């Protein structure tokens, strides 16, 4: 999986035509199969599915960069909440710092959404995604 993430980063990083390509909409069958495969890989590797979803959407031309950012953010939020609820059910007590982390995550998410949707060009978002893919790929390979 680390090699796949590194290969995705390699394919995405030099792209300058991020928003000029036509969006191809997959059939519902293909989309469901891709989602099931991503969920399986995410559960198997312990890595959030958003790291696999974003390059897939971009490389297959299924969405534009800003759409991918929005979908990935929602996907990660829902997965994070589900994971947190599953973890909380096994705890005796919630750590006292959790509300502080939640507020920080919310503030970071709002700030990132603002800059990503209005201020940062699509090509820079793709480069940032490539860096994240490189970090995740290396982590999977070496840690």
| DSSP for 49-99, written as a single string | THHHHHHHHHHTTSS-HHHHHHHHHHHHHHHHHHHHHHHHTT-SS--TTHH
Mean pLDDT of 39-65: 85
Reported confidence tier of residue 140, pLDDT bands at 50, 70, 90 = confident
Q: Residue 10 is encoded by which pair of tokens?
A: 């390699």
> Domain tally for the chain?
1
Q: How many residues does the chain have?
A: 143
CA 134 to chain centre: 13
Domain coverage including residue 28: 2-142
Percent of the chain with pLDDT over 90: 28
pTM above 0.75, yes or no: yes
In the predicted structure, residue 20 carries a pLDDT above the cut 80:
no
Q: Which of 141, 4, 131 is nearest to 59 (CA)?
A: 4
> Is 50 in contact with 80 (CB distance < 8 Å)?
no
Reported confidence tier of residue 94, pLDDT bands at 50, 70, 90 = confident
């Amino acid at each position: 999986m680390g090699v796949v993430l590194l290969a995705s980063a390699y394919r995405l990083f030099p792209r300058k035509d991020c928003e000029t390509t036509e969006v191809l909409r997959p059939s519902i069958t293909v989309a469901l199969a891709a989602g099931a495969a991503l969920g399986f890989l995410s559960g198997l590797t312990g890595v959030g599915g958003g790291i696999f979803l974003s390059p897939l959407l971009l490389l297959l031309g299924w969405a534009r960069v800003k759409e991918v950012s929005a979908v990935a953010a929602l996907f990660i939020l829902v997965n994070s909440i589900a994971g947190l609820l599953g973890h909380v059910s096994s705890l005796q007590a919630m750590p006292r710092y959790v509300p502080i982390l939640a507020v920080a995550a919310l503030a970071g998410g709002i700030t990132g959404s603002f800059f990503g949707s209005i201020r940062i060009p699509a090509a820079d978002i793709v480069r940032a995604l490539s860096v994240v893919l490189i970090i995740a790929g290396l982590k999977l390979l070496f840690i």
